[in-house]
Amino acid sequence: IQRNILLQDMAAYTRVLAPGGLLFISGFPPSDAAKLIDHAGTLGLQHLASHELNDWCAISFKLS
Q: Which residues contact 44 (CB under 8 A, 6 or more apart)?
A: 14, 63, 64
Q: In sequence order, what DSSP letters do the residues of 4-41 get, joined into one string?
A: HHHHHHHHHHHHTPPTT-EEEEEEE-GGGHHHHHHHHH
Q: Is the pTM of this model over 0.85?
A: yes
> What are 7-47's pLDDT values in tens digits?
999 999 999 999 999 999 999 999 999 999 999 999 999 99
Does residue 1 surpass a pLDDT of 90? no
Whole-number pLDDT of residue 5:
96
Banded model confidence at residue 60, pLDDT cuts 50, 70, 90: very high
